[in-house]
C-alpha cells in the first residue's frame, strides 16, 4: 500500500513532469495523431526551440558570394543529358512515371528543369547576396533563375504559382533536441533566460506555391502540390568554404516518398567564371 506521503510525492513528481516540455502527455490528455509512415516527426524536436534569429543581422554563417557546384554525385544525370525514361533513384509513382515517359528530348533546354525542385542540382554557379536585411537572394547562371529566401515572418505568398515558388527562411537548428536529463535520458527543462544561441546553424527554407517542374533534365516531374524543404549547411573542406544543401521534395502527386538529395557547392573567389545561359520558357 502506498502511504499518504508517498502518494503526495508521486503526485508532485507527475505535476513537475507535465510542466516539462517533451514529456509524454498524462492520462486523459489527447495524444497527437501519429504521423504517416515515412513522415514521422521526432517528439524530441519540441523540447526546446531555439530563439528565432533574424535575417542578415542574425546570420550565424556567411552564405554570400559566388559558389560553384561540384558534381560528385548523380553525375550521369546532372552533367550529361539523361536518357528518356531513366528515372533511377527517384521514388516516382505510376503517375509520375507516366508524365516522365512523355518527355520530348527536343525540350532539352526547357525552363522546367530550373524550377526550385531541381535547380540546385543543375551544374552551374550561384551568386548569393542579401537583397535586403530580410531577403537572401540566390541567382543561378545556368537558366538565369532568381530565388528569394524571405526571413520576414510577415511575408506572404502571392496567389500566382511560380517556378521558384515562395520561400520562407529561418536560421534554425535542432538545439534543444540535444541530450537532456541524466545521460541524455528523461525530461529536461530549459535553462533560465533565453536559450543560448549556437555558434553554427543551418539555414532552413520551405518553399510552396510552386509551378510544376522537373527533378531531372529528362522531364522527371514534380507537381504544383510539391513542398520543397531545404537545409543549407556551411562548412570548410580543407581551407575552402563549402556548403551543402539538403533538399526534400515532398510531392504526394508524383512521389511515393519524399525525395531527398544533398548537393555540394564550393566558394569561388569572384564572379569571373559566371556564365549566364538562358532557358526556353513555355514548354
Partner 1 sequence: MKASPLSTIALGVVMTVSAALPALAQADFTGVWIPRYHEDYPERIPGPDLGDYQGLPLNSAARQYADSWHPDRITLPEEQCRVHVSPYIYRGPVRLGIWQERDPMTRELVALRHRISTYDQDRTIYLDGRAHPSPYAPHTWMGFSTGTWEGEKLTVTTTHLKKGWHRRNGVPMSDQATLTEHFIRNGDVLTRISIVNDAAYLTEPLVKSEDFVLQREDIGTRAWMFNCKSVVEVDRPEGVVPQFQLGENPFLDDYRKRFQIPAVGIRGGAETLYPEFARKAGASAPASAPRPAAASTAAASPSAGDTVEILKVQGDVYLLTGGGSNTVVQVGSQGVLIVDTQVAALADKVLAAIRTLSDQPIHYIINTQADADHTGGNAQLAKLGPTRPGRVPLADSVGGNNTATTSVIAHENVLNRMSGRVEGEAAKPEGAWPTDTFFGESTEVFFNGEGVQVVHQPAAHTDGDSIVFFRRSDVIVAGDVFLTTGYPVIDHARGGSVNGVIAALNHIIKLAIPTHNQEGGTMIVPGHGRLCDEMDVVEYRNMVTIVRDRIQHLIEKGLTLEQVKAAGPTADFDPRYGAATGAWTPAMFIEAIYRDLSPARGKS
Task: Give the residue, chosen from 7, 13, 131, 225, that forms a contact with partner 1 under the rule CB under 8 A.
Answer: 13
Task: Give the residue, chosen from 72, 106, 158, 272, that forms a contact with partner 1 under the rule CB under 8 A.
Answer: 72
* Under rule CB under 8 A, residue 175 binds partner 1: yes
Contact set for partner 1, span 195-214 (CB under 8 A): 195-196, 198-202, 204
Nearer to partner 1, 68 or 161 (CB): 68
* Under rule CB under 8 A, residue 18 binds partner 1: no
Q: What distance in Å separates the CA atoms of residue 153 and residue 134, rounded to the nearest whole number?
A: 9
Within 13 Å, how many C-alpha atoms sit on residue 140's CB side? 25
Burial of 49 (0-12, 13-18, 19+ CB in 10 A): middle
C-beta atoms surrounding 144 within 10 Å? 14
Nearer to partner 1, 246 or 253 (CB): 246
* Under rule CB under 8 A, residue 241 binds partner 1: no
Nearest Cα neighbor of 75 from 235, 267, 216 is 216
Q: What distance in Å separates the CA atoms of residue 252 and residue 112, rounded to the nearest whole number?
A: 19
* Under rule CB under 8 A, residue 188 binds partner 1: yes
* Under rule CB under 8 A, residue 165 binds partner 1: no
The radius of gyration of the chain's CA atoms, rounded to the nearest angstrom, is: 23
Nearer to partner 1, 200 or 225 (CB): 200
Nearer to partner 1, 37 or 282 (CB): 37
Using DSSP's 3-state secondary structure scheme, residue 100 falls into: helix
* Under rule CB under 8 A, residue 133 binds partner 1: no
Q: What distance in Å separates the CA atoms of residue 269 and residue 92, rounded to the nearest whole number?
A: 39
Binding mask 93-122 for partner 1 (x = CB under 8 A): ------------------------------
First to last CA, the chain: 77
Those residues with Cβ within 8 angstroms of residue 90's Cβ, 6 or more apart along the chain or in another chain: 96, 215, 216, 220, 255, 259
* Under rule CB under 8 A, residue 52 binds partner 1: no
Nearer to partner 1, 74 or 133 (CB): 74
Task: Give the residue, chosen from 12, 26, 32, 281, that forms a contact with partner 1 under the rule CB under 8 A.
Answer: 12
* Under rule CB under 8 A, residue 218 binds partner 1: no
Task: Give the residue, chosen from 48, 116, 169, 210, that forms a contact with partner 1 under the rule CB under 8 A.
Answer: 48
Count of residues touching partner 1 (by CB under 8 A): 82
Amino acid at each position: 500500500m502506498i502511504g499518504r506521503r508517498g502518494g503526495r510525492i508521486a503526485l508532485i513528481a507527475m505535476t513537475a513532469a507535465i510542466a516539462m516540455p517533451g514529456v509524454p502527455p498524462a492520462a486523459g490528455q489527447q495524444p497527437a495523431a501519429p504521423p504517416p509512415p515515412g513522415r514521422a516527426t521526432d517528439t524530441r524536436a519540441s523540447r526546446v526551440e531555439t530563439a528565432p534569429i533574424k535575417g542578415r543581422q542574425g546570420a550565424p554563417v556567411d552564405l554570400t558570394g559566388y559558389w560553384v557546384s561540384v558534381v560528385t554525385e548523380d553525375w550521369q544525370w546532372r552533367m550529361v543529358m539523361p536518357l528518356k525514361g531513366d528515372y533511377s533513384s527517384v521514388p516516382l509513382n505510376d503517375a509520375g512515371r507516366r508524365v516522365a515517359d512523355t518527355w520530348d528530348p527536343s525540350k532539352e533546354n526547357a525552363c522546367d528543369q530550373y524550377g526550385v525542385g531541381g535547380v540546385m542540382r543543375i551544374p552551374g554557379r550561384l551568386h548569393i547576396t542579401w537583397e535586403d536585411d530580410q531577403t537572401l537572394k540566390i541567382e543561378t547562371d545556368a537558366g538565369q533563375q532568381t530565388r528569394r529566401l524571405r526571413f520576414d515572418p510577415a511575408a506572404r505568398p502571392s496567389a500566382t504559382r511560380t517556378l521558384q515558388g515562395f520561400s520562407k527562411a529561418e536560421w534554425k537548428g535542432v538545439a534543444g533536441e540535444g541530450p537532456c536529463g541524466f545521460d541524455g535520458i528523461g525530461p529536461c527543462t530549459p535553462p533560465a533566460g533565453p536559450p543560448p544561441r549556437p555558434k553554427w546553424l543551418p539555414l532552413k527554407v520551405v518553399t510552396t506555391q510552386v509551378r510544376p517542374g522537373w527533378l531531372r533534365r529528362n522531364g522527371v516531374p514534380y507537381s504544383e502540390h510539391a513542398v520543397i524543404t531545404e537545409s543549407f549547411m556551411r562548412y570548410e573542406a580543407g581551407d575552402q568554404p563549402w556548403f551543402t544543401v539538403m533538399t526534400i521534395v515532398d510531392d504526394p502527386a508524383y512521389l511515393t516518398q519524399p525525395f531527398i538529395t544533398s548537393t555540394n557547392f564550393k566558394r569561388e573567389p569572384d564572379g569571373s567564371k559566371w556564365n549566364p545561359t538562358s532557358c526556353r520558357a513555355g514548354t
